[in-house]
Amino acid sequence: MVAEAFSHVRTWVFDLDNTLYPPASRLFDQIHARMSSYVQRSLQLAPAEADALRARYWREYGTTLAGLMACHGIDAEAFLVEVHDIDFSVLRPDPVLRARIEALPGRRIVYTNGSAPYARKVTAALGLEGLFDATYGIENAGYHPKPRAEAFATVFAADGLDAARAAMFEDDARNLQVPHALGMRTVHVAPTPLPAAEAAHIHHHTDDLSAFLARL
């Protein structure tokens, strides 16, 4: 049973975007647009070129920000403030999700490639404020993004979690490779699962986080 597979878990690590809220809200679409606009203005590119570069840096570096820092030396803090200046009204409080996360035994944390202040705005919009023991953003990882091992090492060391007694919920399957290697229970939260040949590092898949948590 699913519940038995998590009986040892005492630290629950949740990604933020498209994990704590569903992709259907289109919240992250706003961030994509603001990132493309930032790249277009900063690097003086045409809109299509800027959007393609944003996507390429995400694929190659883990985040657009990491690519911009590595290749162009951009100011990470200014970038994060600008791209997270979005409309949160598309999110609605989710009391059922809150109750299911609150019922989990042990500590609950958020770890995102966005910024920690942004993460707190999202959780507040979802009615999840005060629910998490800690919130970690990319700044807490020294601006190293998931899926890099050093990002996880920095955040998990700061948190003091025991990976052997932890689980991670994440929409980007790449970001579950290191947690799996560390001995964490991994849950891919996405509309469709990876092909079996690519999913050796994923223990569970769900397209509905709240429904999955209800099984625990």
The two tokens of residue 38 are 């930032």
Q: Percent of the chain, pLDDT > 90? A: 85
Specify the pLDDT at position 1: 80
One domain for residues 122 and 52:
no
Specify the pLDDT at position 10: 98
For residues 138 and 65, what is the distance between their CA atoms, to the nearest angstrom? 10
One domain for residues 17 and 71:
no
CATH at 62:
1.10.150.450
List 109's β-bridge partners, or say none: 13, 134
One domain for residues 12 and 37:
no
Domain boundary among 63, 83, 103: 83
Q: Range of 54's domain? A: 27-83
Domain tally, the chain:
2
Instruction: Pick the closest to residue 206 from 169, 176, 174, 177 (CA basis).
Output: 169
For residues 61 and 45, what is the distance between their CA atoms, to the nearest angstrom? 20
For residues 10 and 216, what is the distance between their CA atoms, to the nearest angstrom? 13
One domain for residues 208 and 146:
yes
- Work out the burial of residue 200: count CB atoms within 10 Å of its CB; fewer than 13 is exposed, 13-18 middle, 19 or more buried: exposed
**Alpha carbon 142 to its chain's center:** 16
One domain for residues 175 and 97:
yes
For residues 2 and 9, what is the distance between their CA atoms, to the nearest angstrom? 12
H/E stretch holding 187: strand 185-189
One domain for residues 17 and 76:
no
CB atoms within 10 A of CB 109: 19
DSSP state of 40: H
54-71 tens-digit pLDDT: 889 888 988 898 888 889
The two tokens of residue 189 are 């939260």
159-190 tens-digit pLDDT: 999 999 999 999 999 999 999 999 999 999 99
Q: Are 63 and 174 in contact (CB under 8 A)?
A: no
Domain boundary among 42, 65, 83: 83
CB atoms within 10 A of CB 180: 16
One domain for residues 109 and 192:
yes
7 CB contacts (<8 Å, ≥6 apart)?
none
One domain for residues 109 and 73:
no
Q: Percent of the chain, pLDDT > 70? A: 100
pLDDT band at 135 (very low <50, low <70, confident <90, very high): very high
